[in-house]
Structure 1
């Protein structure tokens, strides 16, 4: 390790535990969502770790994310579902490890006419989320087209976006009816549960759980399963400690402006808003030597912490130790907090 650095350590045992736990408790296969740099955890670490454990199917939002995974050269048997429309049919044809979401009837017809194997296509049904997908009122046309062309597809899915429990049940009911009317035997994979919906609903029709947050052991506000284990740990070493009792400034700020008038020592760590560790973290807490200390200032490359004489250069520091507490303090959700962490912070599998 580079001395005094901050790194994100990723616990492979916890990652694989979460996958196996979800499989067992829900009796479904897992389609891991690794978009947005694996929710900030580092796709170049998470995907190889899952692949080495036997996972072969993944989901991302954009083509460029799938392209970056393929550059890892893990194996020809990897499959990556891209949620957003790619558009370039020749590019799709020439990238056989990528499966595409079909987000409109026009897209389905273009893909079939371009000669793309229907088993590489997964139909998305839109129940009013307003993002993408074949509209639910187009299902009759969709059914006729699939049957007329005798298509067998890679999958069918929707997004269970409803925050109202009964609305969610209605979406499950309507989606199940659509799948059965077309013929569930025509779809290799059927999925509609994101992480929150996995906690909230049982979906008999589904073959897979399409989960991101839960495989990383992160949980939505209002839901909690103690069997899931957090995968990431943001930790490192104190890069230096200085006496500031008689100083007027700490970094770029007047000491008097930082609400630390009686502070005698300031510790520095090598992380800042240039790493996605925002100034919103000021006045939040970190852990050094099993004790909480307050963050005084965040600059682009460094963070300064109000400490006492017990803290020395090289001591271990933990940031975001209690992610729920940090989310509440900063006023950002977990998605935002982790996905903005820069690749400048090394991700290390342990």
Structure 2
């Protein structure tokens, strides 16, 4: 099995969002680019002259720096606080942009010799996540004035709140931006995919920060027309067995196979060792444009109930309908795609 990434669809999605909202796009590629493969995605960004991205942790950023040959003018924004022991990497690599999630973070960064133009400030608007709390804004303003600081950017996060409440938070953020000095920030970003759907193009932001939208899928409350699917998980039938000739099928006994009314079983090379959960048993794969039921998943293999129309070598697509799989698994797409293992090869489609 291979994860195939459509370069055409990926670039279409970014270009479409940029044109529609007239804002720069800051792609989120944390969690191995939502399972798509962060190395592949970064190479596509560089190839298409998109020179910024977002990750959650410094470990993700370092892995990219060590494996993809990222140019010095490419920026990787790290959302979570970088611990003091790792600041030497930030000083070493010009590509790394850190986030101050508190007054303490900001002072640690500055005292460690990190230029403020390699720092972004995150504001906690009250969602209980990372970020500078509102009560500390006067302290941050004082530090900015005393040290005459200019920053890479400032941002926050809008979560699932009622529309009117979201408008209130947007206004709070805009007031903070003005209080700290809009001229002190190269970049201003506030909206993930959901907030893009809900609030459109805000006049004071410079960038939109979508994750799932750039990969062409949606979650509850977030929808955008004309986006295209980027992810395809495909392989081929490696073998087919007649159940009547088997005493066992992996961990299924002959009696269990009889109870399931199984006659012919095909298998493919993917299992829960690849992050393809046993919860997928009962869901379907697509073979020759027809859905077939998954009956068993082991660590390395998946077994499919097929008919006489299916042959060895036929192409199989897993997660062919992301929304059907979401319903079957009772998981958001953002949950089940990122857990797919790196031992599944990822290539351009």
Partner of 1:345: 344
Partner of 2:28: 33
TM-score of the aligned structures, taking structure 1 as reference length: 0.95
Partner of 1:314: 313
Following superposition, the deviation at residue 170 of structure 1 comes to: 1.2
Q: Contact conserved, 2:273 with 2:299, CA < 8 A, in 1?
A: yes
Q: Taking structure 1 as reference, are residues 288 and 255 closer, same or farther at Cα in structure 2, changes over 3 Å only?
A: farther
Partner of 2:15: 20
Partner of 1:3: none
Deviations 1:163-215 (A, max 9, x none): 32222111111000110122111100001111111111132221101111111
Partner of 2:88: 90
**In structure 2, what is the Cα distance between the partners aligned to 1:40 and 1:306?**
27
What secondary structure sits across from 1:9 in the alignment? Answer: strand
Following superposition, the deviation at residue 221 of structure 1 comes to: 2.0
Following superposition, the deviation at residue 93 of structure 1 comes to: 1.6
**In structure 2, what is the Cα distance between the partners aligned to 1:133 and 1:292?**
46
Partner of 2:236: 237
Alignment partner of 1:277 is 2:276: yes
Partner of 2:304: 305
Q: How does 1:185-196 map to 2 (within 5 A)?
A: 185-196=183-194
Could you tell which deviates more after superposition, 177-186 or 296-305? 177-186
**In structure 2, what is the Cα distance between the partners aligned to 1:272 and 1:210?**
33
TM-score of the aligned structures, taking structure 2 as reference length: 0.95
Deviations 1:19-42 (A, max 9, x none): 000101111101111111111101
Q: Contact conserved, 2:5 with 2:36, CA < 8 A, in 1?
A: yes
**In structure 2, what is the Cα distance between the partners aligned to 1:65 and 1:261?**
44
Partner of 2:155: 157
**In structure 2, what is the Cα distance between the partners aligned to 1:226 and 1:289?**
28
Following superposition, the deviation at residue 16 of structure 1 comes to: 0.2
**In structure 2, what is the Cα distance between the partners aligned to 1:237 and 1:244?**
20
Partner of 2:250: 251
Alignment partner of 1:7 is 2:2: yes
What secondary structure sits across from 1:173 in the alignment? Answer: helix
Could you tell which deviates more after superposition, 160-169 or 312-321? 160-169
Q: Taking structure 1 as reference, are residues 246 and 115 closer, same or farther at Cα in structure 2, changes over 3 Å only?
A: closer
Q: How does 1:22-171 map to 2 (within 5 A)?
A: 22-71=17-66, 72-88=68-84, 89-171=87-169
Q: Contact conserved, 2:194 with 2:221, CA < 8 A, in 1?
A: no
**In structure 1, what is the Cα distance between the partners aligned to 2:336 and 2:257?**
23
Deviations 1:102-129 (A, max 9, x none): 1111121222222211111000101222
**Runs of at least 5 residues in structure 1 that lack an aligned partner in the other structure:** 1-5
Q: Contact conserved, 2:279 with 2:329, CA < 8 A, in 1?
A: yes
Deviations 1:223-263 (A, max 9, x none): 33230001011111001101003534321122544686332
**In structure 2, what is the Cα distance between the partners aligned to 1:283 and 1:247?**
21
**In structure 1, what is the Cα distance between the partners aligned to 2:257 and 2:328?**
17
**In structure 1, what is the Cα distance between the partners aligned to 2:89 and 2:235?**
42
What secondary structure sits across from 1:123 in the alignment? Answer: strand
**Runs of at least 5 residues in structure 2 that lack an aligned partner in the other structure:** none
In the comparison of the two structures, how many residue pairs are matched? 345
**In structure 1, what is the Cα distance between the partners aligned to 2:335 and 2:259?**
28
Q: Taking structure 1 as reference, are residues 269 and 109 closer, same or farther at Cα in structure 2, changes over 3 Å only?
A: same
**In structure 1, what is the Cα distance between the partners aligned to 2:251 and 2:40?**
36
**In structure 2, what is the Cα distance between the partners aligned to 1:12 and 1:196?**
23
Could you tell which deviates more after superposition, 312-321 or 93-102? 93-102
RMSD of aligned alpha carbons: 1.4
